[in-house]
Amino acid sequence: MIGQCLCGSVQFEAHIAPEKITVCHCSMCRKWGGGPSLTLELTDHLKVIGEKSIAKYASSEWAARYFCKQCGTNLYYKLNERDYYSLNAELFDLPEQAKIDLEIYTDHKPAYYPFLSSAPQMTEQDVIDLFSSEN
């Protein structure tokens, strides 16, 4: 699927499954994006045009958040140690079948915004448990 940032300096060709959008309600995603993040995991290859317009912020010891230097669009979150990319779903012109598949950090969602999805929900502890069982 083809995607780009707001100004078009950074363009992507990415293998993603648009029916598997993850919503994250954690405070870092909300501060970064001004609301809950809607992301898609890269399933295969990623081709980037305009790499020199990408800057990164090391948001934790294990991952960084990448953004467009020209327009500030959030591009993706990537783990340092492996090729795990969580791309901003809104970079892409999502097709009709796009769907929210999972909501995470639901225990961090503030009460002031409603979020109506029927997707499975995971708290911070659920995410940590899943992450540690994968190692």
Q: Give me the residues that bind Zn ion (CB under 5 A), please.
A: 5, 7, 9, 24, 26, 29, 68, 70-71
**C-alpha span between 59 and 12 (Å, rounded):** 22
State the nearest-atom distance from the C-beta of 100 to Zn ion, in Å: 14
For Zn ion, the closer of residues 9 and 74 by Cβ is 9
For Zn ion, the closer of residues 97 and 110 by Cβ is 110
Question: In sequence order, which residues have a C-beta less than 8 Å from that of residue 40 and are 6 or more positions away?
Answer: 14, 16, 17, 18, 20, 21, 22, 86, 87, 89, 92
State the nearest-atom distance from the C-beta of 64 to Zn ion, in Å: 14
For Zn ion, the closer of residues 17 and 63 by Cβ is 63
State the nearest-atom distance from the C-beta of 23 to Zn ion, in Å: 9
**C-alpha span between 31 and 84 (Å, rounded):** 22
